[in-house]
Structure 1
Amino acid sequence: MRGFLLSRKHYDNGVAVAQQSLNSLKLNGDSSPAIVFEPFDLPSTNQRFLGAPHPKGTISPLALRASAHDNASINLDTAIETIKSLQAQDGILTKKLALHGTLLFRGLPIHNAEDFSKFAHAFGYKPHEIIGIVVNRPQLAPNVAPANEAPKDVLIYNHNESQQVPHAPEYIFFYGHKAPSVGGESPISSSLELFHRAQLEIPEFVNELVEKGVQSSVIYKVDKQYEGGSTLKQAFGKEIKEGDDEVTKRAKIEAQIQRYGRGKYTTWEWTADNSLILTHRLPAIRTQPQTGLPTFFTGLAAYYKARQHNKERKEVSHQLFGDGSPIPEKYLEHLARITDEIRVLHKWQRGDVLVYDNIVAQHGRQPWEGEQGDRVVFASLFDGESVPGGYGFGDWAKLVQALDG
């Protein structure tokens, strides 16, 4: 079996930050040329040292540039083989994700959705099936879709993926196919650090969240409610066939909802216009499996920012405490303020791949100047071997995998 060599390299350049004593990942073997993933530094706007509870000196994102011996050209098949081999070495990349929250891969020969799909699948994770999707994500390649097709002036603030439903992915891959000149960055921030700061600064809010969780209500309509949004059929209608009557459609949609396996903690109601209002009681604080540390798994700050910035966009989701009482806006504002202080904005270069551990890191999307098509980012979502457990009280405080069926 192949191993990998760890060659130590140091950085200490002040404004641009990179973790000291980072290791390059290099495979041994007869195949030539072997690919090396070499750490490199980024501007401070794009990379930072994480605060507590992360180990001191931990950076995010961990930036890795692909290179080959004697500056030989890099072949995608060799890059994929390298990723698979590294993962075979005790899941080294998965462990780095759990530590840093986000990895950036640069210098790979990824040019389209098919290339990206092959690279993402090389990590060995199980593709994530989205139940209850709220955005339109047409498939472009195996387990690859547009990241978000909302208009360019819409702010998508930092959040954990699928935090509004019980079934969420553990790993999120983004590929930058086209980058705008101004704006369009992807934010990166730590859910672990957000919880730590909130516990220190607004402990009464954290305690209430632990006890009550959140009540997340999402409205699904027959037609899309905003540009880039999903329809009811896209969210739950995978079994609906041409010619099904309304009773049959509703039964098939409800069968998909029941795959969450949440019992009384997921409820729904139908409206006169055949819209669906789906309500979940969920934990906003969960546990990182590798460390047992509590982590904010939430879109509360994004919910607050969307109401402030995207006033013309129709609200399709509502966030309350788990008992149905309103969350004071001062707490949502405080979460956003912490997030602003601890996040960086990834400036895309064509071909970049960002990989997020969805338990550890939050992501989003900044508005951009120019045309809608100036920014093209593809996404691929995966499950891991485990999911973050509940950090709270009662059966409601559990994250579940969707039931097979």
Structure 2
Amino acid sequence: MATSLDSIAAASLRLDPSPEAPVSFEAFDLPTGNQRLLGPPHAAGTVTPLALRATTASGGREISLDAAIESVKHLQAQGGLLTQRLSQHGTLLFRGLPIHDALDFSRFAHAFGYRPHEIIGIVVNRPELAPNVALANEAPKEVLIYSHNESPQVPHAPEYIFFYGHQVPSRGGESPVSSSLELFRRAREEVPELVDALAAKGVRSRVVYKPHPQYAGGSTLLQAFGKDVVEGVDDEAERRRKMEAQIARYGRGKHTAWEWTDDDGALVVTHHLPAIRTQPGTGLPTLFTGLAAYHRSAQVNGGSRANATKITYGDGTPIPDEYLEKLAQITDEIRVLHKWERGDVLVYDNVIAQHGRQPWEGAQEDRVILASLFDGEIPGAYGDQDWAQVVQALP
């Protein structure tokens, strides 16, 4: 088993797809606060995000989207070179591409060759705008969405996340970038009791879905599990049967349970999940979680958002607040805040990198970030308990 990630010299990096490909990608430096050197277990000199700018062989400035897509496909055909960079840096930034709308973004994201991810049990409202593209989050601009891995509260999470900056605010609205590998290493050193408990017990995620959104930007029960429900045709029994069939697709057996609350028509789904997983290819442990995010959200946002999802240790006992606060403090120390420029594309390896959203000044519509989620090689288990095994959702 490998114990570190291979290092590359980002300052001199140039990704040349092939002599036939029209576009290359060159690394460039970002301002302090937007990019940092990663700590162990990453190799010395590894930065996040790795910032890449498209260039042409002739040095011309005009780059077509078709040419950029062709070059991405060439790079991925060479043993998945961009995927390799993601596994080393956690996050890639592409800047200066001619991406102007949801369809352009969809075409670029699909060029990487990953399988589109189907969200089962979505907790936020994400209306689709183009193939496998939706608004990232509709929460009000004042709401802090703290650093987290995508979908840690459900069994089936995406492996890759693409974000596109369609409209960016002048102040605030940054997207955090940090390493889940580094978070695990720091947590094991500074709060070992938490890591030991998570390894032994996992976490219990209790998610409440209601017929109506529980907070601004939240999803409905029908959005979460109702893909096969026929409105106006299915009676209540059939609606519930179809929704329960979607839950069964998680493939977690006894580690996923649910109950209906007849007083308000809500569905409560409980999962026993691993908060520690391992990176494919290296076997390195990664803290795949939203624990610090739930803790910070309860402190800053409060209200109904804090009631929709409850996370405890896997045996149902509470996780001490001082552990969660320490996890958030470490996260603050190891993350950078990406300052968006219009047209930026951030790509996260969701297994080893965390993201989020800072509040911003101005109008709600000043920040429009689109998202596209994809599946890849699933992370490995940390330990031999059956609940620690991660699986893909059933067809």
TM-score where L is the length of structure 2: 0.96
Q: Which aligned pairs between 1:1-400 and structure 2 lie closer than 5 A?
A: 19=9, 22-30=12-20, 34-68=22-56, 69-242=58-231, 243-272=233-262, 273-314=264-305, 315-384=307-376, 386-400=377-391
Q: CA deviation at 1:403?
A: 0.4
Deviation readout 1:87-137 (Å, 9 max, x if unpaired) = 001100000000000000001000000000000000000000000000011
Q: CA deviation at 1:35?
A: 1.1
Aligned-pair identity (%): 66
Partner secondary structure for residue 140 of structure 1: strand
Partner secondary structure for residue 28 of structure 1: coil
Change (3 A) 1:263 1:28: closer
Asked if 2 retains the 8 angstrom alpha-carbon contact of 1:19 and 1:49, the reply is no
Q: CA deviation at 1:28?
A: 3.4
Q: CA deviation at 1:291?
A: 0.6
Partner secondary structure for residue 387 of structure 2: helix
User: Residue type of the partner of 2:83?
Assistant: T
Q: CA deviation at 1:30?
A: 4.5
Q: CA deviation at 1:311?
A: 1.9
2: CA distance, partners of 1:30 / 1:339:
43
**Cα root mean square deviation, aligned:** 1.1
2: CA distance, partners of 1:20 / 1:122:
23
Which stretch shifts more, 186-195 or 304-313? Answer: 304-313
Partner secondary structure for residue 196 of structure 1: helix
Partner secondary structure for residue 295 of structure 2: helix
Deviation readout 1:287-327 (Å, 9 max, x if unpaired) = 00111000000000000000001023432000000000000
Q: Which runs of 5+ in 1 are unaligned?
A: 1-17
Q: Which runs of 5+ in 2 are unaligned?
A: 1-7
TM-score where L is the length of structure 1: 0.93
Partner secondary structure for residue 212 of structure 2: coil
2: CA distance, partners of 1:258 / 1:286:
22
Q: List 4+ stretches of structure 1 deviating above 4 A.
A: 18-21
Asked if 2 retains the 8 angstrom alpha-carbon contact of 1:67 and 1:107, the reply is no
1: CA distance, partners of 2:266 / 2:141:
27
Matched residues, number: 384
1: CA distance, partners of 2:208 / 2:51:
39
Q: CA deviation at 1:21?
A: 5.1
Asked if 2 retains the 8 angstrom alpha-carbon contact of 1:283 and 1:392, the reply is no
Asked if 1 retains the 8 angstrom alpha-carbon contact of 2:11 and 2:27, the reply is no
1: CA distance, partners of 2:70 / 2:43:
31
Asked if 1 retains the 8 angstrom alpha-carbon contact of 2:17 and 2:72, the reply is no
